[in-house]
Structure 1
């Protein structure tokens, strides 16, 4: 880092501003802060070996900063249970928000997950909520007092959305993003904004303003991106629910890396407007459209917030569409009208999953076959599926990249090491070229419909001859386990379902075990191409010590057809109960 460059002074000011938001009594003693945390600048170039296999998950419980009651508040409730305690007068919003703010501050000191702590304004809002409840006897909304966090991209009035770029620092937003407005109307409390990668085009959350976000389970593993700060914060219970964005996997990948739950909805289900992207305005409307969605510690918590957001999205966002999500007063049917059919899709045809990823799919399929009312079928590789990743990549890069690079180069910021050689100015597509890409997309979408349907009469094109064949599909999130820093490989297993606009969720299954190592055994299947070759570098014993994966979370991705977001929630419930061995322990069924 050249000390005289413009971005350096801005980064130092920004880090000082962030540090000032953490009260002295919330600061960890030096002996509890792992090596390498005090220098955000050095964190950019330090490799995974520099950090060591350090797990910091227990420090919030043992550091002495949280009181016994605050530990109980932050650990013993789900979303609905915590809200019930506040609206029932057994807990105040102020003590709940203070507990989560303190825990978020601790999480940041251990992982660098925050960008804009909003602790003071969050505590004042909590006091206002308590006053309203005491005066009126009614909560402000169905999420009254719920502590939530948002990715740094979302506008919060009076607060920066710098997205890790010095050129955008100290330029506070003049209004709230549509989702922030919706969350506030529901009674939620936004307690902080969270870190992300430079350019948001990498899957390791690292930038010059805030440094590198680390994985609290093992600081050698990536925390993921681009909603990378949300992963550690939610995993460490510094927020009840976090909201990220996803265009290539940016909700699902951090969820996978921390072993939590993520939900990428269809376009329009969650308001997206009012964000800083560093891109030309309106790009998402003509290319590949990103979405916003939640990360949480359970399927139930995802459902609790989506049940309130989806029916109101059209009232807050110009991009919102009318959505169905039944209220709690409408019980789920006890018995499905037919078997719930889950398909197993083992590969995208471009990158062969490494052995532990294939094994976890087989394990989940086996558990689902033992689940009452569930039928499991194998999905043959659709011919159109291997075309999706390349098309998604081209649609992400339809412009010339100058808007983002002008911001970076104007402050003489170096690109992150992983980005060097991978991001550059290019020639913007013409309208004709863009139309051709979208025409290809339509053809792929049409072909992929066959994955979900069964033609009773193959020669007939009448709608009466078609029926839903598959309700949900299980597939990998990535073709590899959680990798070391800067080694995340193929995004086709996530970007594909943005291209297709399928809702997609993450369900953690189990940790990587000794039996998954397959020491001394290499993959012998033919290499499919450059992406597949790169993926095998994460398994080849000459290029990686497989033991680095021990203990890392292994998860699966759950898909449903376009706009079937509530069906995705129900499918995730089914998969999660099967995986956790809890089937039959809840009153709600399929």
Structure 2
């Protein structure tokens, strides 16, 4: 065993030893596989005490309310989620840092404060929040999937962590990421692969795959992820969760560890994932109300703007069924059409939407992501001697984008990419404004609904079927986007279209990948998109859409 492998083995032992011995179940994965169902949350409900299940089925909003009313203690809530996270990790391999002891001490402190003062410290008092590995906490490692970073403990606390903690949040785990966070799969030499909480035969997505898996197993009520190409939205969609990709500058990124930290053509953003849409709003409003722009100069000083008035009028929604490059699988198309039916029944308006520059935009994004042709990654891997993983080779090949000479881009070439990005944004919002000519009232659309991913997910270790056509554009355009679960794959009705003629090679590959039997019962999410810095609006629109879908479903079932 080489030096890097020894470091990894020691790291895994150290992490595992943070789990109380009473919670270690050596045969848990075998036992889980022997059960007649695939969802990890269902299995954990069966093996954990009902008193803990009653807690872990609560949303973050419900937890905060019950703790404030003293119907639950922060300590009981923290214990229940620590226990469940410990078991979830032993099945899914979703946590890289575990610090239950300090979390339970924090919970006791919050209980003492509430007992002594009669007041909560903030709207998140007693709410356990999981953190993607990038978020720094003093004294805890941030490896971001690199073996060479093992043993290096953070000296700083990320500003977002500070803001959440000041409002009462309890941190207890940090979750797994792929090496350098540069994949829609979550796998690294440091921790291995993270599995999907709905069906472990599938990928958890990436790069916030640890968050998606843990929340999908209800081992966390609310988590923090980052997104530079879909890294919040993809894991949320693969596990049937809610996720918010905020615009750059709305949620503080200060002191969050990142790859390519100086790359600002397409910037990484940080935001929440949860099993509840209301939790996304609780998180975002709490952070915005913290006025982090006083410390982080990159945060835009926009106070929270209530958008409840949207509920008093008809919405104008642009529908993009597909981008003319990769046709989504049948259940994704069905989910979008059923959503439109639901909205139309409630009196809202649907108009068709597309963006003619989609292909050029995606090609430009590939050049941005591969601007140094993975030089930083390779240099960091060499520090430990760990090998490059296959998904990185695939990504590197994609970033070549027809270039014969795999060299980092020059300064002039980088500047040209900035010009292209600005051009795409200008054209996109010009088209958005022009949508006024399509609507009945002569006003532009409020939002777009479109796929998150062409399929329900892709299989574990099948990252070659990763297609980020529906997430990357909104990183380039910096739009506020919400992932919204709406249905599940039904093998009886989501049959492949035998008459479909693929538009290109990539489309043919994705078309051939579909199997109604394979994807049966996997969740299907849609994406709701608003303009830049319209987080409040996109959350409200998503809520209106959710209500319409639920009303339509109830009417149909009755």
Deviation at 1:517, TM superposition (A): 4.0
Task: Provide, for residues 252-310 of structure 1, a one-character-per-residue CA deviation record: whole Å limited to 9, x for no partner.
Answer: 0001100111110111111112222243x422x3x210100100011111111111112
**Which of 478, 487, 495 is the equivalent residue of 1:510?**
487
Q: How does 1:145-294 map to 2 (within 5 A)?
A: 145-279=126-260, 281-283=261-263, 285=264, 287-294=265-272
CA gap of 1:213–1:524, structure 2 versus 1, over 3 A, is same
Alignment partner for residue 274 of structure 2, among 272, 296, 305? 296
TM-score, normalising length from structure 2? 0.91
Structure 1 runs of 4+ aligned residues shifted over 6 Å read 455-458, 582-585
Match of 1:34 among 30, 33, 36: 30
Q: Is the 8 A contact 1:104 1:238 kept in 2?
A: yes
- Residue by residue over 1:338-388, the C-alpha shift from the partner in whole angstroms, topping out at 9 and shown as x without a partner, is 42111111122321223332222111111111124x212222x22223322
Hey, what does 2:517 align to over in structure 1? 547
**Aligned partners of 1:457 and 1:193: how far apart in 2?**
48
Point out the structure with the larger helix share. 2
Match runs of 1:30-179 below 5 Å:
30=27, 32-34=28-30, 54-63=38-47, 66-75=48-57, 77-179=58-160
Aligned residues: 543
Q: 1:457 to 1:511 in 2, by over 3 A?
A: closer
Pairing 1:351–2:351 present: no
Equivalent residue in structure 1 for 2:11, among 3, 9, 14: 14
The alpha carbon displacement at 1:575 in A equals 1.4
Aligned-partner SS, 1:245: strand
Cross-structure match for 2:403: none
SS of 2:209's equivalent? coil
Tell me the CA shift for residue 71 of structure 1.
1.7
How far apart are the structure 1 equivalents of 2:319 and 2:437? 24
Deviations 1:207-252 (A, max 9, x none): 1211111112211111100000011111111111111000110000
Shift of 1:396: 1.7
Offset, 1:88: 2.0
What TM-score, normalized by structure 1, do the two folds share? 0.87
| Contact 1:388–1:492 (CA under 8 A) maintained in structure 2 | no
Q: 1:302 to 1:584 in 2, by over 3 A?
A: farther
Q: Which residue of 2 aligns with 1:431?
A: 411
SS at 1:295's partner residue? strand
Give the SS at the match of 1:419. helix
- Name the SS for the 1:60 alignment partner: helix
Name the residue aligned to 1:392: 365
Give RMSD over aligned pairs: 2.6
CA contact (8 A) 2:243 2:273 kept: yes
> Which residue does the alignment assign to 1:305?
283
| Number of the residue aligned with 1:561 | 531
Q: CA separation in 1, counterparts of 2:436 and 2:474?
A: 27
Unaligned runs of 5+ in 1: 38-50, 459-465, 540-544, 586-590
Is the Cα contact below 8 Å between 1:371 and 1:583 reproduced in 2? no
